[in-house]
């Protein structure tokens, strides 16, 4: 087993996840089976209870794991399916060690960070690295380990020490250390500054890890002088200093690393498969798209695109498939509401909505902006504008339908109004009301088709059911289904009990679809998610 360890210095948000995923693409292009692990040094058990403002979206895996959004990057780039153990957190490691101590596994020893925590980390990494991830039963050949945070953080110290020990445990020749750092450009002359990278590498080496490869983020390509200076001060050869400057789209990053000789440094034959050629075609295809399609994204975290990262990627995958350049019109849902205090923001939001060719309401929690989302669903329904509602997007469209078509003016979700008379959406009976973490209906579950002939089923293609990933606490009220369906909003997909509504489609509308699950988590470049593909096809007149 070969390991690639990706760490980061200077500041967070440099693109360690994309770098790690891109190196994975190069390993895969050499014919290796690849898996991936993300270490998050925070104390939370998982990302499930964190606000998107704190940490971006929560990515959901097949096994119901709520994890860091970087695992979404790995799954999309490497076309693999990971499990919750592929995300290591301090909360998980400490829980495991404390459980072992309570059982008496340490035979009366004082339990300490070294060796007990560091051993637990190494055991975890080695065990999970050998689990198949590509759909075959075969163990991977290589594992990419990304260490979250920044070198020097107090919370990542135990992991650096564990990784220092790990190189001797598995053999130094089997580990490649890649350090991602920032090379800022300063002053009117635009001089590239190497000092931040020198400091972070010095700190890392002081902790016992010597990077083999430096990946330097910069707005412009590194000059020859900068490379040589970094090589001299950071104990690497000039060929091992990679420039990852800004590119038109992230699919260029593996190509950029390959062009600079990363495959040679790692002794890989990256032309062993067609993967890189296909990747090149895809990256250049995305650059050359000219026809524009505008999709309105009506949500509540519109200032923070990371909160909807997988949704954005899914829209991009679908836009590439219909040969259109995607423009997302971000609309803060509360700005659509008639009582919004700023009238110019209200006008602007409605103008954006009306100029969009399609409307998407993504998942979310909490009541802020819900009335705005309901108005967006009503606009799409009554104006024949293609609409896709995901999770909460399905629920608000159902509420809108109950209010404006069935005449239940007080209809709502019990999430927002516990005492409403005609609840269209209710709390699921089996879900805990006391614990937030890991208590939702989570992970991959089957949805069975109830109707033979409908747009969304044709998009999915063959099969009596679809498997998609869920993350919700509320569902469409089973008592309302008959009335809703009789008025033309048909639940074409339900769970295996036949009670829980998973997919709706509106009769006589170009494309008005809601799904209770999150299809964005299974979308891949070159293999877009069917509900998103339907939205983009309908929005460009190709459905």
Q: Any idea which residues carry the catalytic annotation?
A: 391, 518, 520
Q: Are β-strands 191-192 and 185-186 bridged in parallel, bridged antiparallel, or unpaired? A: antiparallel
Return the ∠ at Cα 438 (arms to 434 and 439), rounded to 5°: 45
CA angle, residues 76, 173, 229, in degrees to nearest 5: 80
Q: Left (φ > 0), alpha (ψ -120 to 50) or beta: where does 105 sit?
A: alpha
Give CA–CA dist 230/527, Å, rounded.
40
Instruction: Strands of 312-357 (E only): list them.
Output: 325-332
Give dist(CA 369, CA 346) in Å, integer: 13
Distance (Å, rounded) from C-alpha 17 to C-alpha 145? 10
Q: How many residues does the chain have?
A: 543
Q: What's the rounded Cα separation, in Å, for the pair 11 and 27?
A: 27
Compute the distance between CA of residue 112 and CA of residue 97 in angstroms, rounded to an integer.
10
Exposed / middle / buried, residue 188 (Cβ in 10 Å: 0-12, 13-18, 19+): exposed
Residues with Cβ within 8 Å of residue 173, at least 6 apart in sequence: none
- SS3 for 444-512 is EEEEEECCCCCHHHHHHCCCCEEEEEEEECEEECHHHHHHHHHCCEEEEEECCCCCCEEEEEECCCCCE
Strand partners, 513: 388, 505
For the record, the structure tokens of 452 come out as 């033979």
CB 327 within 8 A of CB 289: no
Q: Which residue has the tokens 């994309």?
A: 18
**Burial (CB count within 10 angstroms: exposed 0-12, middle 13-18, buried 19+), residue 338:** exposed
Q: Do 47 and 55 contact (CB within 8 A), yes or no?
A: yes
Q: Give me 25's structure tokens.
A: 């693409």
Structure letter (DSSP) for residue 1: -
**Residue 458 burial class via C-beta count within 10 angstroms: exposed 0-12, middle 13-18, buried 19 and up:** exposed
């Amino acid at each position: 087993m070969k390991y690639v360890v990706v760490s980061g210095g200077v500041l967070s948000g440099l693109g360690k996840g994309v770098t790690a995923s891109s190196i994975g693409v190069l390993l895969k292009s050499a014919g290796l089976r690849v898996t991936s692990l993300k270490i998050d040094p925070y104390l939370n058990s998982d990302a499930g209870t964190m606000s998107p403002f704190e940490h971006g979206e929560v990515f959901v895996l097949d096994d119901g794991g709520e994890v860091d959004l970087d695992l979404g990057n790995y799954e999309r780039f490497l076309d693999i399916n990971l499990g919750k153990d592929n995300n290591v957190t301090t909360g998980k490691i400490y829980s495991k060690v404390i459980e072992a101590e309570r059982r008496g596994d340490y035979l009366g020893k004082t339990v300490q960070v070294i060796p007990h925590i560091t051993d637990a980390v190494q055991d975890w990494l080695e065990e999970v690295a050998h689990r198949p991830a590509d759909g075959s039963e075969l163990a991977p050949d290589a594992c990419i380990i990304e260490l979250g945070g920044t070198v020097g953080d107090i919370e990542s110290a135990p992991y650096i020490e564990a990784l220092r020990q790990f190189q001797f445990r598995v053999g130094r020749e089997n580990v490649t250390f890649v350090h991602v750092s920032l090379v800022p450009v300063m002053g009117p002359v635009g001089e590239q500054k190497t000092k931040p990278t020198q400091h972070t590498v010095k700190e890392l080496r002081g902790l016992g890890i010597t990077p083999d490869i430096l990946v330097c983020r910069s707005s412009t390509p590194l000059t020859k002088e900068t490379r040589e200076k970094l090589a001299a001060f950071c104990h690497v050869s000039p060929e091992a200093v990679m420039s990852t400057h800004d590119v038109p789209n992230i699919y260029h990053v593996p190509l950029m690393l390959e062009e600079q000789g990363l495959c040679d440094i790692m002794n890989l034959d990256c032309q062993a498969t067609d993967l890189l050629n296909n990747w090149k075609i895809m990256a250049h295809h995305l650059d050359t798209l000219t026809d524009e399609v505008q999709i309105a994204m009506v949500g509540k975290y519109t200032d923070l695109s990371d909160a909807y990262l997988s949704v954005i990627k899914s829209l991009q995958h679908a836009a590439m498939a219909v040969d259109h350049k995607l423009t997302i019109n971000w609309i803060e849902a509360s700005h659509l509401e008639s009582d919004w205090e700023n009238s110019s923001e209200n006008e602007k939001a409605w103008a954006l909505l009306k100029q969009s060719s399609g409307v998407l309401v993504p998942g979310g929690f909490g009541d802020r902006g819900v009335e705005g989302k309901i108005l967006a669903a009503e606009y799409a329904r009554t104006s024949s504008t293609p609409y896709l509602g995901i999770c909460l997007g399905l629920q608000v469209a159902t509420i809108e339908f109950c209010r404006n078509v069935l005449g239940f003016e007080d209809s709502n979700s019990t999430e927002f109004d516990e005492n409403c008379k005609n609840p269209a959406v209710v709390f699921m009976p089996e879900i805990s009301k006391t614990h937030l973490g890991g208590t939702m209906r989570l992970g991959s579950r089957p949805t069975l088709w109830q109707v033979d002939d409908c747009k969304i089923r044709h998009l999915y293609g063959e099969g009596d059911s679809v498997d998609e990933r869920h993350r919700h606490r509320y569902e469409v009220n089973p008592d309302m289904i008959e009335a809703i369906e009789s008025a033309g909003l048909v639940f074409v997909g339900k769970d295996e009990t036949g009670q829980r509504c998973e997919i709706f489609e509106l009769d006589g509308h170009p494309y008005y679809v809601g799904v209770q699950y999150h299809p964005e988590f299974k979308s891949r470049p070159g293999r877009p998610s069917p509900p998103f593909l339907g939205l983009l096809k309908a929005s460009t007149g190709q459905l």
